Structures are given as structure tokens and as C-alpha cells.
């Protein structure tokens, strides 16, 4: 029978993060024998907003920036997810990131749906006042769609606590009272949570510890290679180093450092803070990124950006554990190769969920108006990361699937269950 439904299927390319996410989603849905009606609902984002944001630049002229906010799913609570400033932002990327937030919040079982935002801009070429005007206009244009009960933004690539402070202030000015719970990842002084800044990196440490226990790896002999030296990679490298791991490699967009004896991570991070580049650092070898991702190690942690491990290099990756700090660092086409090499994957929607978990704690504390000590935050984070790791491993064993598929299945099962409970299609 002819159907009124027209699917706007696109050409599938390996580096399209939305397609990468959908391939895993489809596979997990098939394994779960997901109800076809629930499948139809979950395969689309709930809402996509495109904004054209006029900004007065310091030279007196206007620029109009394109921005997005995608709200993927609300079945389990308000949308939750970061805002990214980058010249490479695309709607498909923001869509994928929003969907990953839905699955991530479900994997760690916190009461949020998924959302994500992005603005196409190059923040390195903008002054603080231009960035502030861009952030404020983006926030006020989204007033009808965001809020503590609707959608709660947070930092992501190239956005930080200052950007969140501007967003909170703009939202508060519009509603005429201070609303701290509108964003997470704020400065502690205005409602941020202790431990939020380090949360994603700390969550990575907790899941790596569990994986090492599983494989009986001795921490001091466990070699770690981290791509990305920002909030996620930089913090994870520091915490792993502090915990006694041998961090041999750290890379950022300016280059890749390698020292087989182990890097002085504190020194590397200090050098980066002072020089904004790894160029000129003398205590390590400088190697090309292709060699860097193929270093022999126990733990490879891609914590920078998407599409780093693809069908082109996956067969040369030589780690035992792939701990995905970034969102979507491995393409769907690389999955099969990684699985065939018997690499244990801690998938992004589990591995980097420490950030959103402490964002959830921040939202709870803001709404209570009562703030926890860092010790309490870290203990609760550890409890959630360890039990989520065990949930994913148990799901993988029960269904005899790899850990990435298990994480998607666990998440989709939870969101599908709640969608059915709410009776969305009754
Ligand atoms: P960030 O801006 O603080 O740092 C990004 C780092 O990656 C920088 O060191 C940068 O130089 C490096 N980088 C960027 N592109 C690169 C490339 N092509 N090659 C090598 N290095 C590159 O960003 P972040 O907050 O650390 O986010 C990193 C990743 O983690 C993103 O995928 C983000 O979505 C994800 N993530 C972030 C959080 C969080 O709490 N910040 C939580 C979950 C997931």
C-alpha cells in the first residue's frame, strides 16, 4: 500500500556523525526487537531550531552567525546537553550530539532527555565582548524553548564557565529573577557544582579503573594515550597520572607528544596553559597524529573530537581498551574492525557520562538551594559510573553483544519503556 510517509534518507557517509549514531541505533533496535511504533518516534529528534544571530562586532559592523539547538527527546525529563562553538558545527553534528545525550542520560539513568546546541563561529578569532554578545543573543532567541524544566544547556567544545554565566544572566534578565538551574557548568560562585569542572575526566578514570580490574591490569604498568588536552582529555590525563597510570601520550590540535617512559603530565598541561601550543615542548617526542592514534598501549582515550578512528585506521589501532572521552570519536564503520581486534570499548555514551552526571547534581543542588561538598559529589559520581559500567557489561554478557551495542540497547530499552509508560501514542 502506498504510504503518506516520506523518509528524507540521505547518502550515508562515514564521517556524518548522525548517520554513525543511527547505524548503532538501528542495530540496537533490531537486537531489542523494538516495537516499530516506538522505533518511529525515537529515530527522530523532537525539535530542531535554527537561528540566525546578528552580532555587533568590535569594528562596528554586524555579522550574522548560524546557530542550532536540537531537542532530541523528552521522555525521561527536560532536554540536557552542551553548546559548542566551532567553525565545523553542522546541523547533523548537533543532531547526533543531541541523540547521544538522550542515550547517555539513559545509560547512567538520570532524569533527562537529550539536547545539544552549536554556533558556527571561530571563537579563537573573536574578542570576549563579541563572544558575550553572541552568547546573549543566542540565549534570548531561545527563551521560549529552554528552561530548568525544558532544556538545560551546558559547556561543550570552546564554551566554558564564563559562557554559562552569560547564558544564566541573560535568561534571568528575561524572567526577572535569578534562575541558576537554567544551565550547568557555571562558576561555583553563582550556583555551579563542586567537582563539575573535573567530572568528565574523573568519570573516565572511574570506568578505566573498572576495566583494568576486569582485565587484571596493574595500574603502574598500564600505558595510556590521550588525544585532547581540554576539559575532558586534559583533566583525564592529569587524574590518570595522579592515580598512577603511565600516561605516554597527550595530543591537542597543535600536535602530539609522546614519551615511552611516561610524560610529566603536570608539566605538559602547564606548558600548554602558558604557550597555547605543544610546539616547542622539549621533554617528549613530537609525532604525527596518524602515528599517535596507532601507539601500542593498554588504554587509548580519544577525548578531542569526532571521527578519529575510522575504517581507514582502525586496523592499525593497538590498544587493549578504547575509552571514548569525546563524543563519536569512532565511526560506525570502524566498529566491526575494533570488535574483530578484541579491543574492549568503553563507549562514549558511558565513558564520558561523568560530565552530565555532575551536571544533574548541579541542577539538583540549584533547585534545592543546598550545595554539596566535593567529596559527596565525587562519591556519588563514582557510584553512578561504576554501577553504569557494570550494567553495560552485564547487558553485553546477557545478550552476547559488544559493549557499544549493549550501551545503546540499555539506553534505548529505558527510553522506550518510559515512552510506553507515558502513553505517547495512546
Ligand atoms: P575542549 O574545547 O575543552 O578541548 C578540546 C581539546 O581537543 C583541545 O585540547 C583541542 O586542542 C583538542 N582538539 C580539537 N580538535 C582536535 C583534533 N582534530 N585533533 C587533535 N586534538 C584536537 O573540549 P572538551 O570539553 O574537552 O570536549 C572534548 C570532547 O568531549 C568533545 O567531543 C565533547 O563533545 C566531549 N564531551 C565533553 C564533555 C564536557 O564536560 N566538557 C562531556 C562529555 C563529552
Residues designated as active site:
116
Assess contact for 317 and 294: CB atoms under 8 A. yes
Res. 12: pLDDT tops 70: no
Residue in 160, 292, 305 to alter for ligand 1 test, most ligand atoms within 8 A of Cβ: 305
Instruction: Identify the DSSP state of 194.
Output: T
Q: What pLDDT is stored for residue 20 in this prediction? A: 87
Q: Report residue 8's pLDDT band, with 50, 70 and 90 as the boundaries.
A: very low
Q: Is the CB of 203 under 6 A from ligand 1?
A: no
Q: Relative to the CA of 272, which ligand 1 atom is closest? A: 9
Q: Taking the chain, what is the end-to-end CA distance rounded to the nearest angstrom? A: 24
CA–CA separation, 194 and 198 (whole Å): 9
Entry pTM: 0.94
Q: What pLDDT is stored for residue 1 in this prediction? A: 42
Residue in 304, 306, 327 to alter for ligand 1 test, most ligand atoms within 8 A of Cβ: 304
Across the range 281-308, mean pLDDT stands at: 97
Q: Is the CB of 295 under 6 A from ligand 1?
A: no
Q: Is 224 helix (H, G, I), strand (E, B) or coil?
A: strand
232 Cα–ligand 1 center, Å: 6
229 Cα–ligand 1 center, Å: 7
For the stretch 131-176, pLDDT in tens is 999 999 999 999 999 999 999 999 999 999 999 999 999 999 999 9
Assess contact for 286 and 255: CB atoms under 8 A. yes
Q: Relative to the CA of 158, which ligand 1 atom is closest? A: 2
For the stretch 223-247, pLDDT in tens is 999 999 999 999 999 999 999 999 9
User: Cell numbers at residue 43, please?
Assistant: 529515530
61 Cα–ligand 1 center, Å: 31
Q: Is 217 helix (H, G, I), strand (E, B) or coil?
A: coil
Assess contact for 299 and 320: CB atoms under 8 A. yes
Q: What pLDDT is stored for residue 14 in this prediction? A: 82
Assess contact for 415 and 76: CB atoms under 8 A. yes
Assess contact for 106 and 392: CB atoms under 8 A. no
For the stretch 168-194, pLDDT in tens is 999 999 999 999 999 999 999 999 999
Q: What pLDDT is stored for residue 378 in this prediction? A: 98
Residue with CA at minimum distance from ligand 1 atom 2: 157
Backbone angles phi, psi at 14, to 5 degrees: -60, -35
CA distances from 31 to 35, 94, 104 (A): 11, 26, 19
For the stretch 310-358, pLDDT in tens is 999 999 999 999 999 999 999 999 999 999 999 999 999 999 999 999 9
- Nearby residues of 198 by Cβ (< 8 Å), 6 or more positions away: 235, 239
CA–CA separation, 138 and 52 (whole Å): 9
423 Cα–ligand 1 center, Å: 38
Q: At what angle do helices 196-214 and 374-399 cross, to 10 degrees?
A: 40
Q: Relative to the CA of 235, which ligand 1 atom is closest? A: 26
Amino acid at each position: 500500500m502506498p504510504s503518506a510517509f516520506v523518509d528524507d534518507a540521505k547518502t550515508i557517509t562515514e564521517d556524518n556523525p548522525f548517520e554513525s549514531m543511527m547505524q548503532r541505533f538501528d542495530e540496537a533496535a533490531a537486537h531489542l526487537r523494538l516495537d516499530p511504533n516506538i522505533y518511529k518516534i525515537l529515530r527522530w529528534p523532537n525539535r530542531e531550531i535554527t537561528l540566525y544571530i546578528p552580532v555587533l562586532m568590535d569594528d562596528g559592523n554586524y555579522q550574522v552567525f548560524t546557530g542550532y539547538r536540537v531537542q532530541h527527546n523528552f521522555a525521561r525529563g527536560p532536554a540536557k546537553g552542551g553548546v559548542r562553538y566551532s567553525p565545523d558545527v553542522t546541523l547533523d553534528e548537533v543532531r547526533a550530539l543531541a541523540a547521544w545525550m538522550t542515550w547517555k542520560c539513559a545509560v547512567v539513568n538520570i532524569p533527562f532527555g537529550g539536547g545539544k546546541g552549536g554556533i558556527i563561529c571561530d571563537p579563537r578569532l573573536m574578542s570576549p565582548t563579541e563572544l558575550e554578545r553572541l552568547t546573549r543573543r543566542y540565549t534570548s532567541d531561545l527563551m521560549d524553548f529552554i528552561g530548568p524544566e525544558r532544556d538545560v544547556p551546558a559547556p561543550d567544545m570552546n564554551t566554558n564557565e564564563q559562557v554559562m554565566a552569560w547564558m544564566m544572566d541573560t535568561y534571568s534578565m528575561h524572567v526577572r529573577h535569578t534562575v541558576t538551574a537554567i544551565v550547568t557548568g557555571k562558576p561555583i560562585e553563582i550556583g555551579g557544582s563542586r567537582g563539575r569542572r573535573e567530572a568528565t575526566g574523573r568519570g573516565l578514570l572511574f570506568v578505566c579503573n573498572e576495566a583494568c580490574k576486569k582485565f587484571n591490569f596493574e595500574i603502574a604498568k598500564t600505558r595510556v594515550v590521550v588525544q585532547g588536552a581540554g576539559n575532558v582529555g586534559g583533566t583525564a590525563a592529569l587524574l590518570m597520572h595522579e592515580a598512577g597510570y603511565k600516561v605516554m601520550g597527550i595530543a591537542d590540535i597543535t600536535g602530539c607528544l609522546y614519551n615511552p617512559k611516561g610524560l610529566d603530565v603536570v608539566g605538559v598541561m602547564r606548558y600548554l596553559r602558558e604557550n597555547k601550543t605543544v610546539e616547542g615542548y622539549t621533554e617528549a617526542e613530537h609525532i604525527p597524529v596518524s602515528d599517535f592514534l596507532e601507539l601500542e598501549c593498554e588504554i587509548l582515550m580519544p577525548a578531542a573530537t569526532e571521527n578519529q578512528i575510522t575504517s581507514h585506521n582502525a586496523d592499525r589501532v593497538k590498544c587493549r581498551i578504547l575509552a571514548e572521552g569525546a563524543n563519536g570519536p569512532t565511526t560506525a564503520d570502524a566498529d566491526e574492525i575494533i570488535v574483530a581486534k578484541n579491543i574492549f570499548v568503553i563507549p562514549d555514551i558511558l565513558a564520558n557520562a561523568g560530565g552530565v552526571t555532575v551536571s544533574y547534581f548541579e541542577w539538583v543542588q540549584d533547585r534545592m538551594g543546598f550545595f554539596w561538598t566535593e567529596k559527596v559529589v565525587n562519591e556519588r559520581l563514582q557510584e553512578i559510573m561504576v554501577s553504569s559500567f557494570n550494567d553495560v557489561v552485564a547487558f553485553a554478557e546477557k545478550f552476547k553483544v559488544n559493549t557499544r551495542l549493549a550501551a545503546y540497547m540499555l539506553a534505548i530499552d529505558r527510553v522506550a519503556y518510559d515512552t510506553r509508560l507515558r502513553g505517547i501514542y495512546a
